[in-house]
Every structure is written in structure tokens, then in C-alpha cells.
Amino acid sequence: MPKQGDARSPRKQDQVDLPSKKAKVESPKKALSPRKAHAKTTLHSYWRSSCSWRVRIALNLKNISYDCVPVNLLKGEQVSSEFGAVNPNKRVPSLEIDGHVLNQSGAIIEYLDETRPEPALLPSDPVARAQVRNLVGIIGCDIQPVQNLAVLKRATVKLPESDQAAEKLAWGREWIERGFDVLEEELKKTAGTYAVGDSITIADLYLEPQVYNAIRFKVNMDKFPTIARIQATLSALPAFQASHPSAQPDATE
């Protein structure tokens, strides 16, 4: 968990635009060298980035202590030469761990799961693993990219400034609802307590932040009872609460 003061309690997720201890690292499948095993772990993150949030949840579930380096997307800090030296793609998150710099939330989470296998975030059953990856693809490929900050700006750049906020809201809500129509049906086939069965998987790490985004964009979650039920269960778990945007050191709301 990030090294910071007392975390603020997560706020209600109804805004448009809207105890920390040093934990030991679980033993990986392959032993890391002493230098790598004790290297400082640093997450470059933005408090309301859903991709960063996924990684924060994984770090918390794996009980990995880390430092948080905020990158303010609204101020354009991600396109600075300093951050470009960390991540040439100039997007968050980036994770410095075991002497490596890893980018892309999905790759980071799978690396953490392969090197710190407890608790496992992918099922051992191949069908269940495929179901997890299917849900991850729906959220990570079909929903989140078309409602992120860069796309919203591009979609409204030719509109008068006075019309941009309303159009961003309508755009985000439309694409999230389209994706949630599909996600709800898939979850009806796979869900137990969580997205796939009764253990937390990578699919849950994607679901929680996306529901937060949906609420920011005024999506009526009553239309998606399975998604809403799973999210309510996840939001009560300490690892998810500690990763919430409002609990981050760079939170502004």
C-alpha cells in the first residue's frame, strides 16, 4: 500500500469528472535475487485513473508495499520529458519493481500474479481463466478506452466550450451502457460471489473502477443488477477500499 498519512474514507461515487503498514512480499514462484527482492517498488499513478486503480488493487491484494508517485493528467505531467523517460507511451500506470519498469495495467497485474502467486488472481481451470480474460477484454478493450480523458477531449474538441461538458457526459454514458449491456449478460453466466466464481480474479480488478466511472457518467446502475451486486461486494473489502481514488495522496475530491 502507498506510504501516506491516514487514508480518507472513500467518498460516494456520484460525482461527474469526478492503515497502512509495510507489508512483506510474498515468495514468488521463482526466487528473486536479493537485490531485486528488496528493491523499492514505485507506482506512477493518477488518483482517478482506472488503469492505475487496477494495479493498486493488485498490489494491495498481494500485500506489496510501494511508494506512490502522482502524475497529474489534467496538468499534462504525463507528457513531460521526465515521465517520458519512465514510460515512452506517456500514460499511467507505470510500475518500478524488481529492477524493472513495467507499463500497461494488464501486463503489470499478470507479472505480479506470476511472481507473487498468493492470492492467485487467475483460476487454475482453463475455462475459468478464459472467462476472466473475456471479461477483462470487454472492460479493458471495449469500454474504458472510449471514455477516457484523451478520447473525451478529442470527441468534443470542435464543439463550443460551453457544450463540451454535456457532450462528454453523454458520450461516456452511451459507451459505458453499451458495454455494460454485454458485460451484464456475460456475468450472469460466470458470476458467483465475484465476477468468475467465488474467488477474486483479475476481472474484479477491472470491474470495480469501471463501475466508479459509470456512476461518474450518470449511468443508471439499476439496469445492471449483477454488475452492481458484485461491485458492492468488492467495495467492502479492505484492499479495494485502500485503493479507492479518494484514499490516494493526490486526490483532489
Q: For 138-154, what is each residue's pLDDT tens digit? A: 999 999 988 888 889 89
DSSP annotation of 212 reads H
Per-residue confidence (pLDDT) for residue 2, from 0 to 100: 53
Q: For 18-74, what is each residue's pLDDT tens digit? A: 334 333 434 444 444 444 555 799 999 999 999 999 999 999 999 999 999 999 998
Percentage of residues of the chain with pLDDT beyond 70: 85
Of 25 and 237, which is predicted with more confidence?
237
DSSP of the chain:
-B--SSPPPPPPS--S-----PPPPPPPSSPPPHHHHTSPPEEEE-TT-HHHHHHHHHHHHTT--BEEEE--TTTTGGGSHHHHHH-TT--S-EEEETTEEEESHHHHHHHHHHHS-SS-SS-SSHHHHHHHHHHHHIIIIIIGGGGSHHHHHHHHTTS-HHHHHHHHHHHHHHHHHHHHHHHHHHHHHHBSSSSSBTS--HHHHHHHHHHHHHHHTT--GGG-HHHHHHHHHHHTSHHHHHHSGGGSTT---
Task: Average the pLDDT over 193-205 and give the result.
Answer: 99
Per-residue confidence (pLDDT) for residue 27, from 0 to 100: 40
What is this structure's pTM?
0.82
Q: How many CA atoms lie within 13 A of 195 on its CB side?
A: 30
What is the CATH code for 126-238? 1.20.1050.10
DSSP annotation of 236 reads T
The pLDDT mean for the chain works out to 88
Of 8-22, 25-39, 200-214, the one with minimum mean pLDDT is 8-22
Q: Where are the domains of the chain?
A: 126-238
Indicate the pLDDT class of residue 158, thresholds 50, 70 and 90. very high
Task: Average the pLDDT over 64-86 and give the result.
Answer: 92
- pLDDT over 80 at 11, yes or no: no
Indicate the pLDDT class of residue 1, thresholds 50, 70 and 90. low
